[in-house]
Amino acid sequence: MDLTFSPQETAFRDELRAWLAANAPAPEPSDGGEDAHYAWRRDWQRRLYDAGWAAPAWPTEYGGRGASLTESAIYFEEIGRARVPMAANVLGLLLGGPTLMVWGTPEQKERYLPPILSGEEIWCQGFSEPDAGSDLASLKTRAVKDGDDWVVTGQKVWTSGAQYSKWCMLVARSDSEAAKHKGLTYFLMDMEQDAVQVRPLRQITGEAEFNELFIEEARIPDANIVGGVGNGWKVALTTLMNERAGLGFALQIRLRQLLDDLIAKAAERGMLERYGDALAELHVRCESIRLLAWKGLTDVERYGQPGPEGSLVKWLWSDTNQRLTQLAVDIVGAEALTSGESWSYELLRARGNTIEGGTTEVLKNIIAERVLGLPRLKVAA
Amino acid sequence: MDFGFTDDQRDIQRTARDLLSERAKPERVREHAESGRSDSELWRELCELGWPGIAVSEEYGGQGLGRIELSILCEELGRSLAPVPFLASVLAATVIEHSASEAARERWLPGIASGETLGALGVAVDGTAELVVGGAEAQVIVLVEDDGTGRVLAAEEAEVEKIASIDPTRTAARVSAGDGGEALDGDVAAGVDRALVAVSSELVGVCDRALEMTVAYVKERKQFGVPVGAYQAVSHRCAQMLLETEKARSTAAFAAWTADADPERLAEAAAMAKAAASDAGREVTASAIQAHGGIGFTWEADVHWLYKRAQLDAVLLGGAGSQRARLAGILADRVRASAAA
């Protein structure tokens, strides 16, 4: 056990930290809504890209730095610590690119990877549907072969960044006769066609991070299939496995910062003593999230694949963020619930944490079945 | 950054687990618990292997290994509930080595390291500790007070009254120091924080075993025609037990590492570890009883020994609430320091 960074890792961190300090993004736009905010993140990605910091974990042959897992975790910690935004094309960088690196043809890699990295082409994720959330494999969006194309019809939901995207990682049912997991195919769908309508989905915070996609006979050429017809479930799992790998470290730092802000607030109001126990408990949770995340990384380095234990980190993080934001309302008082106040936003946004990227209930099932080996209850169909 | 054990540490863990699964089987633990006796045969064997001196410096006759190695043994002994005076003795050795005078170290540590001398550590209020684990059989007793002072004394210099606790796998005593023995003249916190880590590691072992027994039981036990572990009310409880256990494990490992590698952070790390482990110990062993259903409430089912061990360890040297109060103090100091900067 050695919980220090190697000289190489320290050098990586110092270089990035210095770069971030010297290249802070423009101030967050205060008006102009979603579009202005997105343009700001796009500019930021361009700046990261020009300096070679858009996706350090990507292999050098694809324009990354070939950063190790630890360096990649350091990258997200530093991005979080510097309080700079995520690159605009976060889904392309973290999910789409790595999925293509595993399953894509040489032509697909050559065609799609460079514009993901530069942010010229934004990617979104078309997995969830109104009737296929936790039970993703029951999705109903249909893909029907027509000459060299596929004709796709259906509805997707929780598609963040769809209005800015060129490509959608779309999982659709290409064989309705096959078994649930076997009849799926993974497509790259061009979002710039009339057959795809994007409708913003207003969430409980009032903003719209996500969208609904209405797809009515969209056309996708054969060449845009990733990993082969009928292999969509496996390809989708590759995407999902990448979902939490890096982001977790940025979220963990964000949680730490929120807690530090809250402790400072409590001190300022003379409430440290009164809420000391609750704040200390959050401190313990925050630190154990950090430790468990690093432990998970060690496991990947030693044994290859990330284990289902990653579910513990996501569960603990989401639950802790909810507790933290709820405690903030106690410490700050009614003022925290004023609209526009950042704590009110944090409180409301945190409700999504235990749902997005795997509900806590599903995470518990994964832990029970895949970590503890408990039997699965057969549900009547 | 590497969270794993070294090959040597893994060997220690494997050897300990193999030995204890053979020599400290549940029926043997129960037999000793019921008769209120330590397992002197097993203790002799552990002493021959040098266990009590694993973290004592070589100059005092120990093996001079680190706190991580000690934590590995604590965890394995916690898993097995072996009725031996290991924890009490190493807690006393830890405080003597880090907080007592050179004379006291020379006098007591070689005996504790070899196992010939037994030690115990208790928290006293005005010189009296109401419950000192291992106190009834110890030859040397260390008492620390909340104000950061402490005394080390030979058993005959103290008033030792054997008492029964809810955990009969270990002896206990009420100890009054009076003016006996000698005052700890070093950094008492340096010793006590390391002792907290050892207790936390034992609790991790207790949790791990409670979860293992529970998972095995709920896979076997059928009601309404299916294993009860297939019901999410039960399986999600098991998942929660794992979460608590892993929280405790990661913070205990971190604290053991800081003790040797980054002592500046030890106070915070030890408080975090003991807070997490005390809560986990109580919740996980209580859940184990619940998930075992009616059987779990019987004397025969053995999960109660884990619950009892966890209850005692959870309050030992300060429970979760007092550790969080310490942490709150550390956090407040930090806010003041950053405001001053």
Whether A268 and A190 share a structural domain? no
Region of residue A193 (phi > 0: left; psi between -120 and 50: alpha; otherwise: beta): beta
DSSP per-residue string spanning B39-101: -HHHHHHHHHTTGGGTTS-GGGTS----HHHHHHHHHHHHHHT--SSHHHHHHHHHHHHHHS-
Whether A218 and A295 share a structural domain? no
At A306, is the pLDDT very low, low, confident or very high (cuts 50, 70, 90)?
A: low
d(CA A8, CA A142): 49
A287·B272 Cβ contact <8 A: yes
pLDDT at A381 over 60: no
Whether B126 and B172 share a structural domain? yes
At B339, is the pLDDT very low, low, confident or very high (cuts 50, 70, 90)?
A: confident
Rounded mean pLDDT of B265-281?
Answer: 98
Whether B60 and B149 share a structural domain? yes
Which residues from A are below 8 Å from B254, CB to CB?
3, 287, 291
Q: Within a domain: residue B147?
A: yes
| CATH number (domain holding residue A354) | 1.20.140.10
Complex ipTM, two decimals? 0.96
- H-helix segments, chain A: 7-22, 33-50, 69-81, 90-91, 97-103, 106-118, 232-243, 247-268, 276-303, 310-332, 342-350, 360-366
Residues A118 and A49: beta-carbon distance below 8 Å: yes
The separation between CA B221 and the C-alpha centre of its own chain, rounded to angstroms, equals 31
At A116, is the pLDDT very low, low, confident or very high (cuts 50, 70, 90)?
A: very high
- Tokens 């791990």 — which residue? B208
Choose, out of A295, A303, A362, A369, the residue to mutate when testing the contact with B (most B CBs < 10 Å). A295
Whether B218 and B243 share a structural domain? yes
| Dihedral sign computed on CA atoms, order B287, B292, B293, B297 | negative
pLDDT at A35 over 70: yes
Residues A213 and A198: beta-carbon distance below 8 Å: yes
Kindly provide the b/e burial profile for residues B198-211, where b requires at least 16 CB atoms within 10 angstroms of the residue's own CB: bbbbbbbbbbbbbb
Q: Residue B179's pLDDT is what?
A: 82
Q: How many residues does chain A have?
A: 381
Q: Within a domain: residue B121?
A: yes
Q: Within a domain: residue B53?
A: yes
Whether A190 and A291 share a structural domain? no
- Boundary of a domain, candidates A42, A67, A88: A88
Q: Residue A322's pLDDT is what?
A: 98
Whether B242 and B304 share a structural domain? yes
Whether A156 and A224 share a structural domain? yes
Burial class (CB in 10 A: 0-12, 13-18, 19+), A379: exposed
The pLDDT tens digits of the residues spanning A216-242 come to 999 999 999 999 999 999 999 999 887
Which structural domain, as residue segments, surrounds residue A350?
A: 244-371
Q: How many CB pairs below 8 A link A and B? A: 160
Q: Which helix (H) or strand (E) holds A245?
A: none
CA-based nearest residue in chain B for residue A370? B239
- Boundary of a domain, candidates A65, A88, A111: A88
Q: Within a domain: residue A219?
A: yes
d(CA B329, CA A312): 29
Return all residues near B102 (Cβ < 8 A) that are at least 6 apart: none
Residues A73 and A297: beta-carbon distance below 8 Å: yes
| CATH number (domain holding residue B81) | 1.10.540.10
DSSP per-residue string spanning B116-182: SS-EEEEEEBTTEEEEEETTTT-SEEEEEETTS-EEEEEGGGSEEEEE--S-TTS-EEEEE-TT-SE
Q: Within a domain: residue B146?
A: yes
Tell me whether A334 touches chain B (CB under 8 Å). Answer: no
Whether B233 and B334 share a structural domain? yes
Whether B106 and B63 share a structural domain? yes
Whether A268 and A362 share a structural domain? yes
- Boundary of a domain, candidates B164, B183, B202: B183
Q: Within a domain: residue B130?
A: yes
Q: How far from each other are the two terminal CA atoms of chain A, in whole angstroms?
A: 48
Nearest chain B CA: its distance from A288 CA (Å): 6
Q: How many residues does chain B have?
A: 341
Whether B214 and B120 share a structural domain? no
- Nearest CB among A276, A367, A369 relative to B328 is that of A276
What tokens appear for A139 in the block? 């999705």
C-alpha dist (Å) from residue B2 to A107, A290, B253: 38, 13, 12
A263·B335 Cβ contact <8 A: yes
Residues B160 and B143: beta-carbon distance below 8 Å: no
d(CA A320, CA A314): 10
C-alpha dist (Å) from residue A297 to A246, B72, B191, B276: 10, 21, 32, 22
| CATH number (domain holding residue A208) | 2.40.110.10
Mean pLDDT, all residues of chain B: 96
Helix (H, G, I), strand (E, B) or coil at A231: coil
Which structural domain, as residue segments, surrounds residue B95?
A: 7-183
Tell me whether A274 touches chain B (CB under 8 Å). Answer: no
Whether A268 and A222 share a structural domain? no
| Dihedral sign computed on CA atoms, order A322, A328, A333, A334 | negative
d(CA A92, CA A117): 8
CA-based nearest residue in chain B for residue A365? B236
Whether A251 and A220 share a structural domain? no
Whether B336 and B200 share a structural domain? yes
B321·A70 Cβ contact <8 A: no
DSSP class of residue B5?
Answer: P
Sheet containing B182-183: order of strands: B119-124, B140-145, B150-154, B182-183
Amino acid at A23: N
Percentage of the residues of chain B whose pLDDT score is greater than 70: 100
Whether A190 and A289 share a structural domain? no
Residues B328 and B272: beta-carbon distance below 8 Å: no
pLDDT at A380 over 70: no
Q: Within a domain: residue A118?
A: no
Q: Which helix (H) or strand (E) holds B287?
A: helix B266-291
- Boundary of a domain, candidates B183, B217, B234: B183
Apex B90 CA angle, B84 and B95, nearest 5: 150
At B2, is the pLDDT very low, low, confident or very high (cuts 50, 70, 90)?
A: confident
**Residues facing residue A187 across a β-bridge:** A170, A225
Q: Within a domain: residue B277?
A: yes
Q: Within a domain: residue A238?
A: no
Whether A61 and A148 share a structural domain? no
Q: Which of residues 88-117 of A touch B (CB under 8 A)?
A: none
Q: Within a domain: residue B1?
A: no
B242·A364 Cβ contact <8 A: no
Choose, out of A288, A290, A366, the residue to mutate when testing the contact with B (most B CBs < 10 Å). A288
| CATH number (domain holding residue A83) | 1.10.540.10
- Nearest CB among B211, B227, B323 relative to A375 is that of B227
Q: Within a domain: residue B2?
A: no
C-alpha dist (Å) from residue A366 to A188, B124, B226: 29, 46, 19
**Shortest CA distance to B74 belongs to which of B281, B328, B319?**
B281
Q: Within a domain: residue A106?
A: no
What tokens appear for B264 in the block? 């500046």
Q: Within a domain: residue A96?
A: no
**Shortest CA distance to B247 belongs to which of A154, A282, A125, A271?**
A282
State the total domains in chain A.
3
- Tokens 């005996």 — which residue? B111
Q: Within a domain: residue A99?
A: no
Q: Within a domain: residue A93?
A: no
**Residues facing residue A150 across a β-bridge:** A145, A220
A365·B324 Cβ contact <8 A: no
Which residues from B are below 8 Å from A3, CB to CB?
1-3, 254, 257, 261-262
Rounded mean pLDDT of B310-331?
Answer: 97
State the total domains in chain B.
2
Residues A329 and A180: beta-carbon distance below 8 Å: no
Whether B170 and B229 share a structural domain? no
A243 assigned to active site? yes
C-alpha dist (Å) from residue B190 to A127, B86, B94, B145, B252: 54, 20, 9, 14, 16
Whether A252 and A366 share a structural domain? yes
**Shortest CA distance to A79 belongs to which of A219, A248, A195?**
A248
What tokens appear for B75 in the block? 């965890």
**Shortest CA distance to A356 belongs to which of A249, A255, A251?**
A251
At B340, is the pLDDT very low, low, confident or very high (cuts 50, 70, 90)?
A: confident
Tell me whether A276 touches chain B (CB under 8 Å). Answer: yes
| CATH number (domain holding residue B197) | 1.20.140.10
Active site residue: A243, A273, A341, A369, which one? Answer: A243
B331·A377 Cβ contact <8 A: no
Whether A189 and A217 share a structural domain? yes
The pLDDT tens digits of the residues spanning A158-188 come to 999 999 999 999 999 999 999 999 999 999 9
Q: Residue A288's pLDDT is what?
A: 96
Q: Within a domain: residue A363?
A: yes
Nearest chain B CA: its distance from A328 CA (Å): 16
Whether A256 and A315 share a structural domain? yes
Whether B195 and B169 share a structural domain? no
- Tokens 């007591």 — which residue? B108
Q: Residue A245's pLDDT is what?
A: 63
Q: How do the residues of chain A divide into helix, strand and coil, expressed in percent and rounded to 5? A: 50, 15, 35
Whether B169 and B242 share a structural domain? no
Return all residues near B92 (Cβ < 8 A) that are at least 6 apart: B108, B112, B119, B120, B121, B138, B140, B141, B142
Q: Which of residues 190-219 of A touch B (CB under 8 A)?
A: none
Q: Residue A244's pLDDT is what?
A: 62
Q: How far from each other are the two terminal CA atoms of chain B, in whole angstroms?
A: 30
Amino acid at B118: L
Burial class (CB in 10 A: 0-12, 13-18, 19+), B324: buried
Whether B168 and B281 share a structural domain? no
At B1, is the pLDDT very low, low, confident or very high (cuts 50, 70, 90)?
A: confident
- Boundary of a domain, candidates B139, B165, B183: B183
pLDDT at A345 over 60: yes
**Residues facing residue A146 across a β-bridge:** A149
- Boundary of a domain, candidates A231, A265, A284: A231
The pLDDT tens digits of the residues spanning A59-99 come to 999 999 999 989 999 999 999 899 999 899 999 999 999 99
At A307, is the pLDDT very low, low, confident or very high (cuts 50, 70, 90)?
A: low
